[in-house]
Amino acid sequence: MAQKTPWLYSIKTRLIVSFSLVIGVISVFIYIFFPYKLEQQALQLLKARTHSIAEITTSYIEKPFAKKDFQTVENSFDGVKQNPDLLYIVMHNERDDVVATFNLEKAEKAHYNTIIEQKNISLDEGVYKLRMPVVYRNQNVGTMFMGFSLVALQANTKATSQLIAFVALGIFVISILFVGGLSTIFTQPLSKMVQVVNAISKGDFNHRVNITSDDELGYLAKSFNRMVYNIQRINSTMESVNQRLQTQNEEILEQKTRLEEVNLKQEKTYETMRRQEARLMAILDNFSGEIWSIDRQYEILICNKPFQWSAEKRGAFIGMGDNALDDRQGPAYRKQWKKLYDRALANERFTQIITKEEADGKTRFIEYLFNPITAYNEVMGVAVLGLDITRRKEDEAEKIRLNQELNEAARRAGMADVAASVLHNVGNVLTSVTTSVSVIEQTMSNSRMAGLYKANDMLRENMENLAHFIANDPKGKKLIQYYMMLEDQIKSEQDVIFSNLHRLQDKVNIINEVIAAQQSYATGSMLSENLYLPQVIDDALRLQGDTTDRHHIELIEEYEDDIPEVPLQRTKLIHIIVNLFRNAKDAMKDTPMDEKQIKIRLNRENEHLVLRFSDSGCGIEPENVERIFNHGFTTKATGHGFGLHSCANYITEMGGRMWVESEGLGKGSTFVLQFPLAAKQGQETPEIIDEEV
């Protein structure tokens, strides 16, 4: 009788034991490896996401943080606070003081500042802690601490681990229960399953246990296949991530190409700027007066040839880039001009007349207009315009001495007034020009192109293993976001440069128009000539430059068709219109911005042309309507009562009439000028009073 093999040593037992061990190993492997793998992947994704959030947040707040605008810093938290996992944000300044927070109580409870890892992160007590320095213009201005909850991550990881544990345990239990009765037919399926396990361990997740029976072994095979399917899905997700990284790598190369195109466009922009600068300098060099500007260190930013000629007469050969207070100009000169520059650098706009003794003993009077140059609510420098007013001073002395030449003296005073207006308007325009140049210069000095070059160098160094660099290297992971952010910043720089270039072009055109109008007026004759009034009005308004825009005044012109020419004196008429325009502007000083309006109407009434000049200003009291043209009468704190009196005299000299209409205070006023269509002979010429310049 054949001896039975002890059950302990039987094939069935060994099969059962072996099968149980295999399934147990598989179950333990699944229970330990895959939850750990999933947890590590989830943690890596969390680290990358939170680090990206921290970098983006610091890029938004670095400028207001450096300027200590902590309210804007806290307002910038609104976007990141939408993240449900965010627990707290704490901002420290460079002295390690808390200056801005979100959920400070939670931060202190989590001991937010006890981060000891090299990468400024910490995982404990269910909180992912992160520390990020705040850098502004290559200077560390503070530190940002952020905390993210790990509750959701841990819950998901725990649920996944439990699911895998249940699956592994189920496989193991089912295998033990059914292997005893099916050991004979189980040998072949078990072999197949071992083969599948070996294939899966090598990374081939396409294998399945091919058992189609409906018994427990078939159920075990289906459960095992479902487990392999889940593992394959996870592996597929990882492959998808790798594919996305490859796509992002291609996008980086595309971004690089686009940035190179942007660089080419910027070079063209710089060339356009150089041409515009040459045009501007040509205009400034042909201006009769001195024009220059300085920065806060008194360095000359721009100057025209009359300024250089004036400096040469003092023995100082200076120009752009030199110090305006050069030692070669003498201590007295430096002391006097430093005081003037400092007044303007204190944001004071003023005019200063300086006398200069020539070699022949003649005294020259130079009137200088000092305009502070402001940008970003800060005085960046000073623009100065100098106009030789010696002729005006001589005319004033001549008027005092020769009263019989009053008309000629009045004309010269009018010319000086227009010259002062031109000086004022060109000064304002030059201030805008200098501001635009300063903004462009600041934009170029702060350009992020240096960062682009560094990023490109990093790509070139890792070009042979670019995919690995992008996927695994911390710097590579940040590179995509950096390029996307860099594109927006460079586009923003371009917008600023093009905007200021257009503004430069507009201001240069304004200077041309104002100078042309001033030259036309300066060469005008005191003789009557047939004039087309709409054209004369436009010439007079052109002398005001951009006054209407700066003071937000709506200008309305209503001219009747077929206006005939009338015999008038151009110089006097322009003087009148300029004076009325200034009075209207001053009358609307306290008028709401959206209600400021000047309306000029011109129409024919019988044998006269009637010009009505209306404003929406403060109006005139009834008792002052008849007195407003009297010599010395004024309602202005700084007025002298000469302007309207001289206008009335000029109108009478040209055979016309002038009066004012107003319904009272706050109702505005209308000045009416009536001109005969034909010249009247034998008009009496009244006394002409000097007008303040």
Residues 625-676: tens digit of each pLDDT = 888 887 767 777 665 566 788 788 888 888 899 999 999 898 999 999 999 9
Tell which residue, 428, 393, 426, 434, has the closest CA to residue 412: 393
Give Cβ neighbours of residue 368 (< 8 Å, ≥ 6 apart). Answer: 290, 340, 351, 352, 353, 354, 384, 385, 386, 387
Place of tokens 């009788």: 1
Q: Which of 49-53, 313-317, 654-658 has the highest mean pLDDT?
A: 654-658
pLDDT at 475: 75
Cβ atoms of 455 and 483 closer than 8 Å: yes
Report whether pLDDT(346) > 90. Answer: yes
d(CA 413, CA 633): 19
The pLDDT of 96-113, averaged and rounded, is 86
Report whether pLDDT(608) > 50. Answer: yes
Q: Report the b/e string of 2-17 with b at 16+ CB within 10 A.
A: eeeeeeeeeeeeebbe
Cα within 13 Å of Cα(238), Cβ side? 13
Q: Residue 210 is which amino acid? A: N
Cβ atoms of 641 and 631 closer than 8 Å: yes
Cα within 13 Å of Cα(405), Cβ side? 13
Report whether pLDDT(520) > 60. Answer: no
Cβ atoms of 647 and 580 closer than 8 Å: yes
H-run or E-run covering 64: helix 11-66
Q: Residue 425 is which amino acid? A: N
Rounded to the nearest 10°, the torsion over CA 80, 86, 87, 91 is -40
Q: Which of 110-114, 196-200, 310-314, 555-559 has the highest mean pLDDT?
A: 555-559
State whether residue 690 is helix, strand or coil: coil
Cβ atoms of 296 and 345 closer than 8 Å: yes
Cβ atoms of 192 and 24 closer than 8 Å: no
Q: With respect to CATH, is domain 524-676 assigned 3.30.565.10?
A: yes
Mean pLDDT across the chain: 77
Report whether pLDDT(64) > 80. Answer: yes
CATH architecture of 11-181: 2-Layer Sandwich (3.30)
| CATH 3.30.565.10 residue spans of the chain | 524-676
Q: Is the sign of the CA dihedral 173, 175, 178, 180 positive or negative?
A: negative
Residue 674 burial (10 A CB sphere; 0-12, 13-18, 19+): middle
H-run or E-run covering 303: strand 300-303
Tell which residue, 436, 438, 432, has the closest CA to residue 299: 438
Tell which residue, 172, 182, 243, 254, has the closest CA to residue 211: 182
Cβ atoms of 510 and 546 closer than 8 Å: yes
Place of tokens 């801005």: 100
- Residue spans of alpha helices (H) in 402-532: 406-445, 449-461, 466-472, 474-522
Distances, alpha carbon 363 to alpha carbons 117, 366, 391, in Å: 77, 10, 11
pLDDT at 682: 38
Distances, alpha carbon 251 to alpha carbons 237, 470, 480, in Å: 21, 12, 8
Tell which residue, 358, 189, 380, has the closest CA to residue 298: 380
Strands 554-559 and 529-531: unpaired
- DSSP-derived letter for residue 288 is S
Number of helices (H) and strands (E) in the chain: give both, helices first. Answer: 18, 17
Q: Residue 663 is which amino acid? A: E
Neighbours of 276 (CB within 10 A): 17
120-124, 180-184, 582-586: segment of lowest average pLDDT: 120-124
Cβ atoms of 575 and 526 closer than 8 Å: no
Length of the chain: 693
d(CA 496, CA 504): 12
State whether residue 39 is helix, strand or coil: helix
Q: Which strands sit side by side in the sheet containing 597-605, from one edge to the other?
A: 554-559, 597-605, 608-615, 669-676, 657-661
H-run or E-run covering 614: strand 608-615
Write the pLDDT tens digit of every residue in 247-295: 888 888 888 888 888 888 888 888 888 888 778 777 877 877 888 899 9
pLDDT grade for 614, boundaries at 50, 70 and 90: very high
Cβ atoms of 672 and 611 closer than 8 Å: yes
